[in-house]
Amino acid sequence: MREGVSLVLTPSPSGEPVIAHWGAALGPLDPEQLAALGALHRPGVPHSALDRPRWSGVVPQVVRGFSGTPALEGVRPGATSGPVAPRLDDWSVADDDAGTLTLTGSDREAGWDVEVTLSLDEGGLLTARTRVTNSGAGPLQLVAVRTVLPVAPQATELLDLTGRWTRERHPQRHPWVQGTHVRESRHGRTGHDASLVMVAGVPGFGFGHGELWGVHTAWSGDHTTYAERTPEGECVLGSGELLGPGEVVLEPGESYTSPRVLGSYSVVGLDGMAARLHAALRAQSPRTRSVRPVVVNTWEAAYFDHDLDRLGALAEAAAEVGAERFVLDDGWFLGRRHDRAGLGDWQVDPEVWPKGLHPLIERVHALGMDFGLWVEPEMVNEDSELARAHPDWILRGRTALPEEWRFQQVLDLQVPEAYAHVRDGLTALLDDYDISYLKWDHNRDLVDVSHAGRPAVHGQTQALHRLLDELREAHPALEIESCASGGGRVDAEILARTDRIWPSDTIDALERQHLQTWTSMLVPPELIGSHIGGPVAHTTGRRHSLGYRGATALLFHLGIEWDLSRITPDDRAAVRDWVDLHKRVRPLVPTGRLVHADHPDPAVVVTGLVAEDAGEAWYVAATVAATATQHPAAVRLPGLAADATYRVTGETPRGRALHDDAHRADLATSWLESDGLVVPGAVLGSLGVRLPVLSPETAQVIRAVRVH
């Protein structure tokens, strides 16, 4: 039992462990009580069924009558007899007294040894994974290895996420009826449409209310996540790697370990689920506990137009507004004047940078900023020195190359020489230049690819993880951002090796209000890059005020992607105001709890960061459309201590460049313009605060500080 969560296992008559309960804390149970719990939940024997009670064990098996999706599937190529599906017996359970159970079973006749580990961490997050060992005489071809977690039958509503490029992680909800709801990702990376979490809960659950169970598949390649209700009554959430035919074949004695499945139970809605996931990801990324530097990225400011004077002027403007990290994006390496050439040739282009990057880096450092660099190491352009020298290193599924995607192909990292080329090229850059940060991109899906006659995604994903591990070991202070056409590779396994994600290629503030909310169901705010772009969004053409753009980025890892050297002094001063405000907020970003208000009007989005002791909180209340009523309903401020008293103030910068003068009269009569009001936390959490009339796509920043 950990942090309000209990995981209870009982044995079935065959000896297979059964997860009898994963959910609300039940308190300590002695052996007699555990036996009683098992007896209370003993299944019956209906007509037209097996003649003995059918228990759904920790590994659902078709040979024991389970009618849903089996946890394990495999074949033995060339075998002419013997069982196909495993029937696991001889179970044993080991407890390490630190919250981890190891459950092992075997089928000697079929030649399967299976180990399931279940770990409940200090924050109440359940981590599960399955390991299969071939104990037979011949090769074992794995078809599927799925890890399955049961949930309570009162969870009759499902929520998962879908999306596309520049519209990642949008929610979809529907009743959970009998059958299987499956979400598969077949992109060779996590995918823009990946369901970051799959959630089953009581009807109507929200951010701050409702009992629910959520799972995340921690894998950066092809994967499956599903929810299943069987006619017999099982309710399960399952997931695993999506294996291609023949992709994983185990020789005798060899093993395969599935991706981790992270299971988060909450009795207080989606924010409670996310809080457990955030705690776990924060524990595996200790460097992000420090203050996160404000970033200026050159992409939407300069694109491929690299010039020392121009970029130097941008760096000076970046320092003027308070930036602390300057990231040079695409366009710095051999032949890279556009996106059709150069990928794979990771040397600084002497035509553009005759003295290398040293002059720019020295200028950036002299301005008090550290330096970052964009790379896309897994990709190659056909128009590159690398492709001309080593066409056999390009990942393909047949003689002809796959169709181009953004004018590029994939480098086969399972070829040792190709892997060494990438590793050594990156290491040379990091050794030669004082680079603190790599923005690591991945701008295409893996389509029509294989390696050594087998599907390639499993091995390619493993090679990527190994490459990141080697670079981090060689350069322990290096920070890495995971960017994959924006949000195409967002998962807990990539976040174990990187320091933030770029959640989307769109920095349209309206789109970001939605996608940052749902990205944060897994990813804590300090690992989510959020930039203030120019007045007109690059991807959508929408125009937003600087106030709206600044407020949208405020509570995350803030950056700027705008040519600051070519804007007015007033605009630069206004940007500085937002950077200064963020620096007041950011001590809470890597430690605070991210919360969202359940507002009755979907046009109003409320996001907050609350200190661990609830002594301080910051909120952004934004509109994403016209409100349903002239005077929107009051905005509740979740997460505060009900028995404390707070001073509540409006903190939105009011500079000339930030504000629409048409709303001045309304604001002048609002409490937001006062020195603050002292209000009980119970009032702020239940009744909330009334905001002035909000036009579409405006935002207000609110601070609450405990006074006693």
Q: How many separate helices (H) and strands (E) can be counted in the chain?
A: 14, 37
706 SS3 class: strand
Q: Which region holds residue 432: left if phi is over 0, alpha if psi is between -120 and 50, else beta?
A: alpha
The answer to whether residue 441 is catalytic is yes
- 383 given a catalytic annotation: no
Q: How far is CA 537 from CA 127, 533, 541, 571, 653, in A?
A: 39, 7, 5, 17, 22
- On whether the CB atoms of residues 116 and 58 are closer than 8 A, the answer is yes
Task: Choose the catalytic residue: 505, 508, 571, 577.
Answer: 505
Question: In b/e form, how buried is each residue of 631-656, taking b as 16+ CB within 10 angstroms?
Answer: ebebbbbbbbbeebbbebbbbbbebe
Residue 551 has φ and ψ, to the nearest 5°, of -65, -35
- Identity of the residue numbered 493: E
Written as six digits, the tokens of 177 are 């009826």
CA distance 229 to 225: 14
Alpha carbons 7 and 24: distance in angstroms, whole number: 9
Contacts of residue 36, defined as CB under 8 A and 6 or more positions apart, other chains included, come to none
SS3 category, 40: helix
CB–CB of 88/16 below 8 Å? yes
On the 0-12 / 13-18 / 19+ scale of CB atoms within 10 A, 144 is middle
Half-sphere exposure of 619 (CA within 13 A, CB side): 27
Among residues 193, 222, 412, 441, which one is catalytic?
441
Residues labelled catalytic = 441, 505
